[in-house]
């Protein structure tokens, strides 16, 4: 067996090992690369698939460094992929049915061989590794579309030299016929990635995953979620690849905003879900079985869970969701048993979602976890009428409880009807009867809360608060009865607790205390005696009063004829005559008939 060929050549840094085997075969006048490899003690398949013994043999017969030869080898994996310098090409990203090449690059190979004095310069054309990537359709160096010839079947598909041999004589014509084409960003990136790293994010993905992802996401961006795949063609895939690279090369900062535009599309389509919005992108992510797809899947799953109403346990791109992150109004309505229209109104007025009537309920989303308690309460919610029936009271009792804050709706709504949490109502009833004694009949000294309120002219809220605050020593409930009206209380115990006095002085008290006629006092109010409004402690209506400090100051300055007469123990008529004899008259600024004197003029 030959240990080293007489005619050989150095292997180039951008040459595939299978192409190098073909070059050696041609230089040594062997027309069949397969036969040549067999003569050298190996096979073309072993060389093309990068088996160690084949690499060692090619290094031995060519006189090249084994490590350098190994760098040019594609390595075969059990899943059918080929790796070149760590860059893995799956079957989706490998042009196995055709041999692709740039005629101008091959013409330059021949020209360089001529310059170097080669006797057969056509033997020095060679295949580049990036020509095997199906997402590269353009020669990035010359700006022309790659040419292609059909690959033969079996191991002959790896024979670059054999496939090109019939066309070497008319490479000039093929070069002239090649269509001008500008390489897009994806092609430039993929061509360089065999030799150096580029985009930080895409470099973290497998070679084929990055290539196909850019192509698919770009096609969705260019032609919509569901383009007719048979009608896309190579030109459109080329456009999609360039568009996709512009999006994906920025990593999550480019991908996530694009996915958001798909989610927020202006569509009245009642259907929703990433399979609708993303189209072929979702299909590709879901159907592709490649471990190098994991970073993209995690990014996509997290986006879907955070932007779609996905229930816990529902599969997201093949994996069950660990938790629900988002609810739609529809999903929340179904899960908690509330009508979607009612729930939407409640959530709008609770500030959870915006009021956007044009958006259907299934597309109105909101975070699930922070609103779970609210949703549970709304799910237990009943109308005011149902709530009144539950605690056995009419409107005159129930709504004062609401106004006093003893009972509250789940959401304080301005439009629509409020809902009351059943658990709140039950808790209210439990607190009322917690310390109550059960009686078969009304005991002496006690009466029902409704009758007690009537006697005391107070509100039901006042009575209920006394019971809830545990301020009453006697509270009962009739056996077999339930609800607020079944409670028994002692009115004599409640009376002192709810009877309050005014902070100010009422007009009737001023008339009696100061000794002035009602008509005269009416003219003084809000002039010399400013008034305010206070709630009457028993009648529960606004009452006009004079602040006590204001009234005391008024009395320290003025005194009535009645009080002066009482001090001297005489009648008002006699006191009036005495004052006139002394030349002291009443204050003329007071209304007619009001005999009021300034104290400092009496001395």
Domain extents for the chain?
17-183, 186-324, 327-428, 435-498, 507-601
pLDDT at residue 502, as a whole number: 65
CA distances to 21, 114, 121, 124 from 118, rounded to whole Å, are 18, 6, 5, 9
Q: How does pLDDT run across 345-384, given as a tens digit for each residue?
A: 999 999 999 999 988 998 899 999 999 999 999 999 999 9
Asked whether the predicted pLDDT for residue 412 surpasses 60, the reply is yes
pLDDT computed for residue 503 by the predictor: 73
Backbone angles phi, psi at 575, to 5 degrees: -65, -35
Task: Using pLDDT thresholds of 50, 70 and 90, give the confidence band for residue 500.
Answer: low
Neighbouring CB atoms inside 10 A of 450's CB total 16
> Is pLDDT of 236 > 70?
yes
Residue 18 has pLDDT above 80, yes or no: yes
Query: What's the pLDDT score for residue 320?
Result: 94
HSE value, Cβ hemisphere, 13 Å, CA-based, for 381 = 27
Kindly tell me the burial class for residue 404, based on how many C-beta atoms sit within 10 Å of its own C-beta (0-12, 13-18, 19 or more).
middle
Stretch 46-74: mean pLDDT = 94
3-state secondary structure 94-123: ECCCEEEECHHHHHHHHHHHHHCCCCCHHH
Tell me what pLDDT residue 189 has: 94
What confidence category does residue 215 fall into, taking pLDDT thresholds of 50, 70 and 90? Answer: very high
Task: Give the confidence band of 269 by pLDDT, cuts at 50, 70, 90.
Answer: low
What is the distance between the alpha carbons of residues 235 and 382, in angstroms, rounded to a whole number?
Answer: 61
Q: What is the pLDDT of residues 163-205, one digit of tens each?
A: 888 899 899 999 999 999 999 999 999 999 988 766 678 999 9
Residue 352 β-bridge partners: none
The confidence score (pLDDT) of residue 540 equals 63
User: What is the pLDDT at residue 270?
Assistant: 56
Question: pLDDT tens digits for 301-339?
Answer: 999 999 999 999 999 999 999 999 999 999 999 999 999
Q: What is the pLDDT of residue 65?
A: 95
At 543 the pLDDT is 82
pLDDT of residue 434: 92
Q: Taking 80 as the threshold, does the pLDDT of residue 153 lie above it?
A: no
Q: pLDDT tens digits, residue range 84-104?
A: 998 999 988 888 778 999 999
Length of the chain: 603
Q: pLDDT tens across 421-456, in order?
A: 999 999 999 999 999 999 999 999 999 999 999 888
């Amino acid at each position: 067996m030959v240990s080293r060929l007489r005619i050989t050549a150095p292997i180039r840094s951008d040459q595939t090992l299978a192409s190098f085997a073909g070059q050696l075969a041609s230089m040594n006048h062997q027309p069949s690369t397969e036969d040549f490899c067999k003569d050298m003690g190996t096979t073309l398949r072993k060389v093309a698939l990068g088996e160690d013994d084949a690499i060692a043999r090619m290094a031995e017969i060519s006189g090249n460094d084994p490590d350098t030869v190994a760098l040019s080898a594609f390595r075969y994996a059990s899943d059918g992929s080929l790796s070149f310098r760590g860059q893995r090409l799956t079957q989706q990203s490998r042009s196995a049915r055709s041999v692709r090449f740039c005629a101008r690059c091959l013409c330059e190979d021949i020209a360089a061989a001529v310059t170097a004095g080669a006797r057969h310069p056509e033997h020095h054309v060679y295949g580049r590794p990036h020509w095997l990537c199906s997402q590269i359709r353009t020669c990035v160096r010359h700006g022309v579309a790659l040419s292609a010839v059909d690959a033969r079947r079996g191991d002959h598909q790896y024979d670059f030299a054999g496939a090109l041999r019939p066309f070497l004589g008319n490479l000039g014509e093929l070069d002239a016929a090649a269509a001008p084409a500008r390489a897009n960003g994806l092609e430039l990136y993929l061509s360089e990635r065999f030799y150096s790293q580029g985009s930080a994010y895409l470099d973290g993905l497998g070679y084929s995953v990055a290539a196909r992802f850019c192509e698919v996401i770009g096609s969705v961006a260019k032609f919509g979620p569901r383009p007719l795949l048979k009608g896309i063609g190579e030109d459109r895939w080329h456009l999609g690849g360039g568009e996709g690279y512009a999006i994906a090369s920025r990593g999550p900062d480019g991908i996530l905003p694009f996915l958001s535009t798909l989610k927020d599309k202006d569509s009245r389509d009642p259907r929703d879900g990433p399979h609708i919005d993303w189209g072929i992108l979702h299909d590709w992510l879901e159907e592709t079985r490649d471990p190098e797809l994991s970073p993209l899947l995690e990014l996509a799953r997290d986006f879907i869970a955070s932007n779609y109403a996905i229930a816990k346990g529902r599969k997201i791109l093949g994996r069950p969701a660990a938790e629900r992150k988002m609810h739609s109004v529809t999903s929340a309505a179904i899960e908690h048993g509330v009508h979607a229209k009612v729930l939407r109104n409640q959530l709008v007025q609770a500030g959870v979602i915006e009021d956007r009537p044009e958006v259907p309920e299934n597309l109105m989303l909101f975070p699930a976890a922070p609103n779970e308690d609210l949703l549970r309460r709304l799910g237990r919610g009943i109308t005011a009428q149902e709530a009144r029936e539950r605690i056995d009271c009419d409107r005159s009792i129930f709504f004062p409880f609401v106004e006093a804050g003893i009972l509250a709706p789940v959401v304080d709504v301005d439009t629509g009807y409020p809902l009351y949490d059943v658990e709140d109502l039950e808790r209210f009833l439990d607190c009322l009867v917690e310390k109550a004694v059960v009686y078969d009949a009304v005991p002496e000294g006690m009466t029902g809360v409704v009758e007690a309120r009537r006697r005391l002219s107070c509100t039901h809220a006042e009575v209920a608060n006394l019971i809830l605050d545990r301020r009453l020593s006697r509270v009962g409930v009739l056996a077999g009865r339930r609800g607020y009206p079944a409670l028994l209380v002692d009115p004599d115990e409640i009376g002192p607790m709810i009877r309050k006095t005014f902070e100010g002085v009422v007009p009737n008290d001023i008339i009696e205390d100061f000794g002035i006629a009602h008509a005269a006092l009416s003219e003084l109010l809000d002039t010399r005696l400013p008034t305010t409004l206070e709630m009457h402690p028993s009648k529960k209506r606004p009452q006009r009063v004079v602040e006590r400090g204001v009234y005391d100051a008024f009395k320290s300055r003025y005194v009535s004829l009645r009080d002066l007469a009482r001090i001297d123990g005489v009648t008002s008529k006699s006191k009036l005559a005495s004052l006139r004899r002394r030349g002291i008259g009443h204050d003329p600024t007071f209304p007619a008939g009001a005999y009021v004197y300034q104290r400092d003029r009496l001395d």
